[in-house]
Amino acid sequence: MKITGAEALVKSLLHVGVKTIFGYPGGAIMPTYDALFNEPLLRHILVRHEQGAAIAAEGYARLSGTVGVCVATSGPGATNLITGIADAMLDSIPIVCITGQVHSALIGTDAFQEADIMGMTVPVTKWNYQVNNASEIPYIIAKAFHVAKSGRPGPVLIDITKDAQQGVIEFDVLQMAEFVNAAASTAAHIPQVPDLKFENAAHLINNAKKPYIFAGHGITIAGAEEELVRFANKTGIPVACTLHGLSVIAMDHPLYVGMLGMHGNYGSNVLTNEADLIIAIGMRFDDRVTGNLASYAKQAKVIHIDIDIAELNKNVKADVGICGDAKQVLTELYRHVLPNNHDAWIGQFKDYYKLEHDTVIHHQVTNQPGHMIKMAEVIALLSKKTNGEAVIVSDVGQHQMISARYYQFKRPNSHITSGGLGTMGYALPAAIGAKVAAPSREVIAIIGDGGFQMNIQELAVLTQENLTLKIIILNNEYLGMVRQWQELFFDRRYSFTNLVNPDFIKIAEAYSIRGVRVQDESELEEAIDKLLNSTTSFLLEVMVEKQGKVFPMVAAGTGVGDIRLS
């Protein structure tokens, strides 16, 4: 049949399995929006800022396990996507971003709302492509989705000129299927892992006295949570998680020993420098995990498993580097390793945890009469009330680290946050995307008063789409993490970190969202119950101590062995 390029775009999206898109219309993408008008099989969610569209697509992708999709117009619409695109690139999230572009004859003339989105997004996409002819659309869409999802996932941008959207082509469903197959054949080839690699890795594992598993986001991406637990149970090796690795193993599992990184658990970091073998799975030895590389794990042999060969030996030299899918690699490695236990070694983690508990954790979750509520109290109580089974979507800052430390995750794929880019304003749109992807799961956004105001307008989406999202604002009237650094490292020169905030409850009410503000600890439990029992979206604002700090902490430039408890 003969249809326009815009109609071909819509049909191509349906053919590759898209059910939901997040977007914002404008002049250069208007033909596509016209084609969407009569398409009941595609749910379009109207965000209030294009950054919200890209981040919502991330949240959708992370909880659905599929590719998230966002749409924007040319110029400022396209440039507003860039933060979300960069966020998806660093955190390996598969999204396809579709932007309108001015008529191909006008490209390069500084036409109205023209921007070189191709040049701007080269560094932050797996692939980008500009469509100038309607006939290209079906194959390019097929390829875009395959590139976004295959290998190490990531963002793809497709820029489509207005005349390509308006042009007429012959669309053939059978040919579209051929395009999907052709796109699959262009995938980057991941070499098969030689048996010798598994044998060498197993030899190190079977002979190690203090082996240590680092579990990263790649385990969630591969759907390898069961394989990880099975492998750990057989070998008796303790497991620590990166920030993005949280929830790949239940926190009450006897082999779970904490979170790695700048604000991770004390023993998890210190004992990195005592392990004789590190098995890093689906993680990239980010600087927030390693601290100063000059003093990092010099005594340990390293087995590094990652689907991206570029990550092997990039930051930390691997004695055995295995390029492959975590699920497949763990399945094969399981066959080669011997049953074992490392009770004495795990006992060291328990000793360090007791020290951390007595020095930090107990004081963070226990209030004293006359003191303001602490962030950790809120998260610990929330965890208890939800039995650790909610999806926690956190923004960036102190509350992010507190959520990671004190929510006791029980279910896989339950933790969503911005890791690599550290994007403030992330939680609300990401939680919207997550809730759309999994409407039956309890999705709770944990946000600071600073980050909340960066994408506060997306509250409108909750009302318009009739979504039931729970939001907790931990309000300390500061940019808390920056203030903490100013206190510790800048002689308490609090330069522009105090916030004069609006009335968040009234703003929520303006969007027809119920809300409650809590200042006294005696009101906290009842307020959390109201939040969790609400059948509509609900905002809980908790006024927390203004000068609270997150410890433990590995200060910038120091090593993991120098982690501070205070």
Peptide bond into 552 cis (omega under 30): yes
Sign for the CA dihedral angle at 207, 213, 214, 220 comes to positive
What does the alpha-carbon distance between residue 532 and residue 189 come to, in Å, rounded to a whole number? 46
What does the alpha-carbon distance between residue 386 and residue 421 come to, in Å, rounded to a whole number? 29
State how far Cα 413 lies from the chain centre: 10
Active site residue 234: no
State how far Cα 250 lies from the chain centre: 18
Active site residue: 283, 481, 504, 551, which one? 481
What does the alpha-carbon distance between residue 107 and residue 124 come to, in Å, rounded to a whole number? 22
Could you tell me what percentage of the chain is helix, strand and coil, using 3-state DSSP and rounding each to the nearest 5? 45, 20, 35
What does the alpha-carbon distance between residue 279 and residue 287 come to, in Å, rounded to a whole number? 17
Please tell me whether residue 51 adopts helix, strand or coil conformation. Answer: helix
Active site residue 50: yes
Active site residue 145: no
Active site residue: 19, 39, 113, 487, which one? 113
Residue type, 390: A
User: Bridge-partner residues for 24, per DSSP?
Assistant: none
Residue type, 74: S
Active site residue: 7, 11, 22, 50, which one? 50
8 Å CB contact between 101 and 119 = no
What does the alpha-carbon distance between residue 550 and residue 399 come to, in Å, rounded to a whole number? 9
Active site residue 298: no
Three-state helix/strand/coil letters over 271-308 = HHHCCCEEEEECCCCCHHHHECHHHCCCCCEEEEEECC
Active site residue 113: yes
What does the alpha-carbon distance between residue 383 and residue 389 come to, in Å, rounded to a whole number? 8
Which pairing describes strands 391-394 and 443-448: parallel, antiparallel, or unpaired?
parallel
What does the alpha-carbon distance between residue 30 and residue 24 come to, in Å, rounded to a whole number? 10
Please tell me whether residue 165 adopts helix, strand or coil conformation. Answer: helix
Instruction: Using alpha carbons, select from 141, 130, 155 the residue that is nearest to residue 53.
Output: 155
Q: Where is 247: in which H helix or E strand?
A: none
Task: Provide the total of helices (H) and of strands (E) in the chain, helices listed first.
Answer: 25, 20
What are the tokens at 130?
Answer: 């500009």
Residue type, 287: D
Active site residue: 143, 162, 327, 374, which one? 162
515 to 25, 144, 505, 535: CA distances (angstroms):
31, 41, 5, 13
Provide φ and ψ at 317, rounded to 5°: -70, 130
Q: How many CA atoms lie within 13 A of 66 on its CB side?
A: 16
What are the tokens at 419?
Answer: 């890791």
As annotated, the active-site residues are 50, 112-113, 162, 481
